[in-house]
Amino acid sequence: MKIAITGASGYIGRHITALAKKNGHEVIAIDRSSDIDIFSQHQNVFEALQKPDVLLHLAWRDGFKHNSPEHMKNLSHHYEFLHSYIHDGGKKVAVMGSMHEVGYWEGVINEHTPCDPLSQYGVAKNALRQSMMLLAKDCDAKLYWLRGFYIYGDDIGGHSIFSKIAQAAADGKTEFPFTTGKNNYDFLHIDDFSDQVLAAITQDDITGIINICSGKPVSLAERVEQYIQDNHYNIKLQYGAFPDRPYDSPAVWGDNSKIRAIKAK
């Protein structure tokens, strides 16, 4: 297939782009160094992206700054870009979503879980999802809303807890201040994450909200301790140095039934 990928040089984009090429797909990579500015108007976005079979929209500014004003400021630009792509002839669109669209929730998240986001990032993503679902229905286009959960792997230079631990190890630190680590989350390695995304967007039968996840809750402490062990870091976690955040769910994970069905094909 011919796959156009925005945000192709980002943390997620780099891995999906490499995997798509490895699997024999033609990739049209779009990032800030490209001639195409997704926030500017084009005569025909579909043609500007070389008429791909599917558009994977990963680009998003300040993704790790959840209350940045950039999220709401750029929301209409994302919608206009995707609207133009579909209006100009694109029939398959995949957009990276986030479990932060849901807000506080205890238990499994599926495509029917109500959304009440608690950050500007979550609000913007959820609004784009709602708008795109209406647009896809009106225009008879296929929409793949890829709801991502917690990613680890390739962590140096990132912003996650794993990135911070990797940096601390690189700096020679032997202790790392931590919470109680009791919260349970859904963690997925970046390689598995990329594999799920590529599988989802290169099939036609299952669309809508697709959780990109492991489907299993694992305690933060267990996952981080395993990460330290796997990477042979000489670091000990200082449990309780930071309080647990009151708005973090004690346990939340994704329903992976859709992605399992896709992978089983």
Asked if the model's pLDDT at residue 260 lies above 70, the reply is yes
Q: What is the pLDDT of residue 157?
A: 67
Short-list 208, 207, 213, 209, CA closest to 195: 213
Mean pLDDT confidence for 229-242: 95
Q: Which residues of 43-77 are buried (b: 16+ CB within 10 A; e: fewer)?
A: eebbebbeebebbbbbbbeebeebebeebeebbee
Domain membership flag for residue 244: no
How high is the pLDDT of residue 221? 96
Q: Which of 24-38, 78-92, 142-156 has the largest mean confidence?
A: 78-92
Given this model, what pLDDT does residue 35 score? Answer: 81
Domain contains 230: yes
pLDDT tens-digit map of 166-181: 999 999 999 999 999 9
Whether 128 and 145 have beta carbons less than 8 Å apart is answered as no
Percent of the chain whose pLDDT exceeds 70: 99
Check whether residue 203 and residue 130 sit in a common domain. Answer: yes
- On whether both 82 and 124 belong to a single domain, the answer is yes
First to last CA, the chain: 17
Q: What is the pLDDT of residue 41?
A: 67
Following DSSP, what letter does each residue of 192-216 receive, concatenated? HHHHHHHHHHT-SS--EEEEES-S-
Domain count, the chain: 2
Mean pLDDT of 215-219: 97
Residue 245's pLDDT band (cuts 50, 70, 90): confident
Q: How sure is the predictor about 265, in pLDDT bands with cuts at 50, 70 and 90?
A: confident
pLDDT band at 87 (very low <50, low <70, confident <90, very high): very high
Q: What is the pTM of this model?
A: 0.94
Q: What mean pLDDT do residues 95-108 have?
A: 96
Alpha helix stretches (DSSP H) within the chain:
11-22, 45-48, 70-87, 120-139, 161-170, 190-201, 220-230, 257-264
- Is 10's pLDDT higher than 80? yes
**Residue 36 token pair:** 């195409």
Which residues does the annotation mark as catalytic?
A: 121
Does residue 6 sit within a domain? Answer: yes
57 shares a domain with 169: no
Residue 24 within a domain:
yes
Say whether pLDDT at 156 is over 80.
no
Task: Tell me: do 13 and 97 sit in the same domain.
Answer: yes
Residue 189's H or E segment, with its range, is strand 187-189
In which domain, by residue range, is 12 found? 2-151+186-215+253-264
> With 90 as the cut, is the pLDDT of residue 39 above it?
no
Radius of gyration in angstroms for the set of CA atoms belonging to the chain, rounded to a whole number: 19
| Pair (119, 227) in one structural domain | no
| Model confidence band, residue 247 (pLDDT cutoffs 50, 70, 90) | confident
